[in-house]
Amino acid sequence: MELDATHEKRRAPRAVVDIDGQLAVGGATLLGTIHDLSFTGSLFITEDLLNIATGASAVLTFVLPNSTAWFKPQVEVRRTSTFQRLFGQSAQAVGFAFSGLALSEERAIALACYEWASCSSRAYALAAECFAQGLDGIQNFSRFGRLLEGSRDALALRFPSKELPLQPRHLLRLRVGQATTLARVLHLNETRLGTEVGLRMEGWGRDFFLHQARLAA
């Protein structure tokens, strides 16, 4: 007996998410964001335009905020479409179905969907060494600090020096291991151990960066 759409929706409810992902297809790797996630499939949005055939096999790499595991499942492309973003950039939507997920992966994705509202904003205690490189007018700034706390949006980073050429709104490129992200300075606070800098992560890569920082801790 065929399962109708209502039954499928009950079996694998979708959650509206915004998870960084990498889609490897046709010899290219597209950077983008996963939306409307369930353990049966999802929607991948990217500004890397590529002619992708329906039925193509691909590999999707992503991490979840409630798991320490990397996910690299095989997926099958079900549909693609192009559209214009709010400010005029062209983007591509790739609808896909997971193929061959392990039961543990299904459960992890289902749990992330169920807990998305809380786990996506959760702050973690961190203890990872982080390299910071200045951008937009402070290119000469480069040094190591230590991450103290982080969520998918905000970070606390401590530098041992009490005299830093940083000001609110300065932009930094941060690196932990091989993961990088951009972060903008929100505030600075001198303490006995150095200067603590509050940062807001911006752009693509924050999920991979926070995941790497959690593993390092």
pLDDT tens by residue, 76-86:
999 998 888 77
Is the model's pLDDT at 62 over the cut of 50?
yes
Model pTM above 0.85: yes
In the structure, what pLDDT confidence band is assigned to residue 189 with cuts at 50, 70 and 90?
A: very high
Query: Is residue 24 a contact partner of residue 59, using CB atoms and an 8 Å limit?
Result: yes
Answer yes or no: CATH 2.40.50.40 is held by domain 5-119: no
Residues of the chain within CATH 2.40.10.220 domain(s) are: 5-119, 124-216
pLDDT reported for residue 11: 56
pLDDT reported for residue 84: 81
Torsion of CA 96, 97, 99, 103, to 10 degrees: 130
Is the model's pLDDT at 169 over the cut of 90?
yes
**Second CATH level (architecture) for the domain 124-216:** Beta Barrel (2.40)
Is the model's pLDDT at 117 over the cut of 90?
no
